[in-house]
Amino acid sequence: MAAQHDGQQEAEPLDRRSILAVGLGNGLEFYDFAIFAALTPVISQLFFPSDDPLASLLSTFAVFAVGFFMRPVGAIFFGRLADRSGRRIAMVIAVTMMGVATVFIGLTPTYDSIGIWAPILLVVARMAQGLSVGGEFGTSATYLIEHAPSGRRGLFGAFAFFSSVAGSVLGLAVVFGLTASMSTSSLEGWGWRIAFLLSLPLLILGFYLRYRIAESPEFEEVQADDAQHADPVRTVFTQHWRAILTVIGIVMGFATASATVQAFMPSYVRTVVGLEARTALGAVLVATTIAAFMVLAFGHLSDRLGGRSVLVLASVLTVALPYPGLLVLDQGGFVFALVGLVLVWVPVAAFGGAAPTVWADMFPTSVRVSGFGIAYGFGSAIFAGSAPFLATWLVDVTGSDLAPAGYMVVGGIVTLAVVLTSITPTRSTPAPTVAAGTK
């Protein structure tokens, strides 16, 4: 599928403050997902106490999935807002909603204090976070891509996922620091709350910076031409449904790999491989840091070779690397864990480096955030939200520590078929332009 462009406007380069504003807000969104995943063994016992640790773990992963299932709702709400009123206001509201919900989790009483209301409140907070993320990634990626200079759209799009992974690194670093500096009883008693409450200063700074950034030049041109759609969401579903299905097909490989690595692996390294908590978190932290810079490298590569080529590579790597990665990881110890985690991170980084710009270019400017966000939201809800739960269940049912790799491989095969049949080969990413719409 060819990218949709019908104008020629060179983007205005972003200043450092604007890049920081987008990156900080986007990082906050995924900071929470990282600390929730890393603290899952603690949260599962505090909010879902059970004599069976596996049952508690599965209950917590089910709550994790709730956040993903709210993403399509958030994509519809924020997509319409961003395509009608601007990318900036959508990003301001999204970062505020996420920050408030994350702080709320840090203040929520546990099951021992208020009984069944504890998991109920946790679910409500996760719903708000999912709603926020549903609008955040598509809006921030679009904003960055619409500011990208010619020949660098892939790299600018990759920065959206880079900042997400950077937020995960920060979250993992915080949890690692808490785990290393306090006893298990202190961490489970009150220390876990610190990780969630630390999002408050990030929320304040993110809100301040985003409130002061300029609007996307491509959106401003659509607005000046009075070319906005009265109902961009309806337009996307009626006129661009093929692009939505294509993006969902690409999201399958990306989401199954990303959610398995980011949400499931921190618990897997501890509960399945059996590493001590500090060793496990240290390996996850270092591997995720390496992965963040791999994202930018793959984004740069997509500008050289074209997004389709890198997506083909990412799909192939998703098929080839999960089993070897888990085999290495299962050998035990920090070094083997680090190498195994890096191996399973490589295809995720490749997808994150190329996919955002490919997705954005499938939709005209007037409905770009709605199209990008809705397709990504539905795809991640279906395939990413269920990944940690299914991975845990597969290990339990099959008795094989390598079972989660199968889920990633299936996703990679499907996505490879979609990319090869639906994406038009291009040598490099096109220059930013504006597609006209109708009211």
Question: Residue 434 domain-assigned?
Answer: no
Distances (CA, A) of 97 to 12, 136, 315: 29, 10, 33
pTM reported for the whole predicted model? 0.83
Question: Residue 6 domain-assigned?
Answer: no
What mean pLDDT, rounded, does the chain reach? 85
Question: Residue 431 domain-assigned?
Answer: no
pLDDT of residue 389: 74
Q: Are 135 and 233 in contact (CB under 8 A)?
A: no
Q: CA angle, corner 370, sides to 365 and 371, nearest 5?
A: 80
Q: What is the pLDDT of residues 233-270, one digit of tens each?
A: 999 999 999 999 999 999 999 988 888 888 778 778 88
Residue of 380, 260, 254 lying closest to 310 (CA atoms): 254
Question: Residue 432 domain-assigned?
Answer: no
- Which of 57-61, 158-162, 308-312 bottoms out in mean pLDDT, i.e. has the lowest? 57-61
Question: Residue 89 domain-assigned?
Answer: yes
- Which of 1-5, 110-114, 234-238, 397-401 bottoms out in mean pLDDT, i.e. has the lowest? 1-5
Counting the structural domains of the chain, the total is: 1
Domain range enclosing 59: 16-217+230-421
Distances (CA, A) of 382 to 71, 127, 253, 267, 386: 10, 15, 12, 21, 7
pLDDT of residue 8: 39
Question: Residue 10 domain-assigned?
Answer: no
Residue of 361, 356, 439 lying closest to 83 (CA atoms): 439
Question: Residue 53 domain-assigned?
Answer: yes
What is the CATH number for 107?
Answer: 1.20.1250.20
Q: Are 297 and 387 in contact (CB under 8 A)?
A: no
Phi/psi at 272 (nearest 5 deg)? -100, -50
Coil, strand or helix: which one is 16?
A: helix
- The pair of three-digit structure tokens given for residue 308, joined into one six-digit string: 């389709």
Q: Which residues lie closer than 8 Å to 224 by C-beta, 6 or more apart?
A: none
Q: How far is Cα 260 from Cα 31, in angstroms, rounded to an integer?
A: 16
Question: Residue 408 domain-assigned?
Answer: yes
- The pair of three-digit structure tokens given for residue 290, joined into one six-digit string: 């390496």
User: By CB neighbour count within 10 A (0-12 exposed, 13-18 middle, 19+ buried), where does 250 fall?
Assistant: buried
Q: What is the pLDDT of residues 32-89, one digit of tens each?
A: 877 887 787 788 778 877 665 666 666 666 776 677 788 899 999 999 999 998 999 9
Q: Is the pLDDT of residue 429 over 60?
A: no
Q: How far is Cα 399 from Cα 227, in angstroms, rounded to an integer?
A: 57
